[in-house]
Amino acid sequence: MDLLHELVYGRGYCLVKADEVSFLDGIKELLLDISLSDGNVADVKSVDELREKITTLPESDINSLNMKLSAYPDFSAMLVNAFSSSVRELAGGEFFLQRRSHVMFNTSDLRHTRAMSHFDGMSGISPFTFTIWIPAHDLHDNSGIWVLDQDASMQLVERESEKQCVMGKDLLGMDALEPLRMDFGTGVFFNPFVMHGAYPHDGALARIGVSTRFQSRSKPLFIRNSEFYYPYDLTA
């Protein structure tokens, strides 16, 4: 399959198996180690136990843990090395990489769950950016992200434009899309024009997702520049 073609001219997103799952195992271990060092999470021996524990924490502790995990500097590099052949196909071996990955929880508590419908281009990243998103565990329930193909996504935006409406009910009210199901070791790549988000769920375990963004060094950076990216040379 031609990943670049699918992301640019096709659906705009694609599920991809990691070349080196060991990098993702490393992310999983670090998620656990960093969480244990946080002080609010004790006696947790696996990512699934951590997912269960997160659902019991008060809001401020969830935020504190989330900030601590998101501050860890190496998750982005581990992600691109896990998917090195796909990243090379999309941006070469030398590219700009998101300085800090995003670590996201989707708990079953409505205070913390869903990511609102959006496309990443809304946040000022360049049109030449690609996102990698992984679950830190098998994802077989409905707590994961949904992704809408880019044609449907842009039609939605155009309809809003015709109605002179921004973030209206068509866009925010999307609630019938199937969240992606995937095994640990698989990631979803998408471009900045596909709508995505997450729904509230009532599972017993919080979902943990990790994402990063990268783009070719030869393409325009737009708003996101050195604070967001750093130059990275792929080693794998």
Cβ closer to Fe ion: 117 or 142? 117
Judged by CB under 5 A, which stretch of 35-43, 90-98, 116-124, 137-145 contacts Fe ion?
Answer: 116-124
CB of 189 to Fe ion, least distance (A): 13
Cβ closer to Fe ion: 80 or 120? 120
Among 31, 77, 96, 120, binds Fe ion (CB under 5 A): 120
Judged by CB under 5 A, which stretch of 11-19, 85-93, 99-107, 120-128 contacts Fe ion?
Answer: 120-128
Cβ closer to Fe ion: 20 or 149? 149
Closest CA to 170 of 190, 191, 155, 185: 155
Q: Residues 131, 209: contact at Cβ < 8 Å?
A: no
Give, as one character, the DSSP assignment of residue 227. T
Tokens of 15: 């599920």
The total number of residues written for the chain in this structure: 236
Closest CA to 83 of 148, 12, 18: 18
For Fe ion (CB under 5 A), the number of binding residues is 1
Phi/psi for 32 (5° steps) reads -70, -50
The answer to whether 79 contacts Fe ion (rule: CB under 5 A) is no
Query: Which residues lie near Fe ion (CB under 5 A)?
Result: 120
